[in-house]
Structure 1
């Protein structure tokens, strides 16, 4: 079975430029899913008992990922979300890698607009930029479409349209314990207060909101909020390079 050559990747938590992401979809069950079906089912029963709001939908779980000369490439399979919930507990990177895209929205007054996840989600209370896992709806001609994923997730969670951004940066990424975060910044013409008001209005009319509130972040202090691990280094990079 092909595996990811992590020893050849950039240093963990070091941000690097990305020219292209080429994740090709492979038919058939993921080898990790096939090998761990019993544990996946047992873990799902535990997770669902603790949080019945969880939904075992389909998502993409890559493997055999290479990072070379600014290109992230590899194979990815469609798996149930329960597969990822088990994987993230131990992160067996020889079997699978988690890769997702993160759109970093920056206001005209240089704040990063983030969201706090609701208590009913799989990341309760955590703060990060609106984003979500790649899923089958993000497949274009057999390849994962990260920009399409970012636009969809932001629209669903915040009501904002990324196409309205005044400027868009190139791609960058970092990895940490088998999780690759690929991000780009989207600078909007509105102030942080205006963007937060728009997101708040969206939350009020969303029949199934995933987020509790939107936040304006103006520093990279890792203790300011309950961040997921990728957020502090990305915030530090953004405030140095994009604000």
Structure 2
């Protein structure tokens, strides 16, 4: 297995292009059948429009890529079938919530979601709401996901000026540290209070990571690689 590679950048150049996806076209019937099965398991998932990407380039502190529009059913099949189109990747933003005492705060996805049981930072595959003047606004996507999942608004945290882009298989996670001026326990309690007021929250639990021994198999490799690097650089 290829180890994750982390690129630190200060600029994102993510252009949306109207290009077809041959995988989605040629496997349409299989994709629709697969999604119908998934809908039986999790009725709340819906076949909205999402953005995937091609042609990743890291150069001189900048990450560039070409994004294209597809449906969630095609994305889900591509993911579940082991990423058969190797030229495509899922490039998404993550807000790494970090408390004043150094603890990272992660959420566990609820059983009704497509990633049930997985534990990671607030994030989501970009969609059409994240497009601004023909480019993907990852910072805006992160802000929206953080607000939806935790109730934290941009006034509640200080965003790092850089992004750590973790390349791990068919995923590139653009992770930005969001510093919050409260302890890890207080931050977890605040998020839990927000979840308690929601009818069906995306998160089922909130986890604190203070050391590498707190990392678990439920956390994706791009998340654990990022946290391991952060802890090693601060020690």
Task: With the length of structure 1 as denominator, give the TM-score of the two structures.
Answer: 0.88
Match of 2:181, SS state, is coil
State the Cα distance separating 1:28 from its structure 2 match: 5.5
Counterpart position of 2:15: 24
Give the distance between the partners of 2:67 and 2:3, measured in 1 at CA: 22
Question: Does 1:77 find its partner at 2:77?
Answer: no
Alignment of 1:6-85 (within 5 A): 12-27=3-18, 29-85=20-76
Alignment of 1:219-234 (within 5 A): 219-221=211-213, 224=216, 226-234=218-226
Give the distance between the partners of 1:60 and 1:43, measured in 2 at CA: 20
Q: Structure 2 vs 1, CA of residues 66 and 238 (structure 1 numbering), >3 Å: closer, same or farther?
A: same
Pairwise CA RMSD? 2.0
Range 65-74 or range 192-201, more displaced: 65-74
State the Cα distance separating 1:127 from its structure 2 match: 0.7
State the Cα distance separating 1:72 from its structure 2 match: 2.4
Task: With the length of structure 2 as denominator, give the TM-score of the two structures.
Answer: 0.90
The correspondence for 1:138, drawn from 120, 130, 140, is 130
Is the 2:10–2:161 Cα contact (8 Å) retained in structure 1? no
State the Cα distance separating 1:221 from its structure 2 match: 3.1
Aligned residue-pair number: 233
The correspondence for 2:98, drawn from 103, 106, 110, is 106
Alignment of 1:232-243 (within 5 A): 232-241=224-233
State the Cα distance separating 1:225 from its structure 2 match: 5.3
State the Cα distance separating 1:65 from its structure 2 match: 2.8
State the Cα distance separating 1:161 from its structure 2 match: 1.6
Give 5+ residue unaligned stretches, structure 1: 1-10
Alignment of 1:145-164 (within 5 A): 145-164=137-156
State the Cα distance separating 1:172 from its structure 2 match: 1.1
Q: Structure 2 vs 1, CA of residues 182 and 231 (structure 1 numbering), >3 Å: closer, same or farther?
A: same
Match of 1:79, SS state, is strand
Give 5+ residue unaligned stretches, structure 2: none
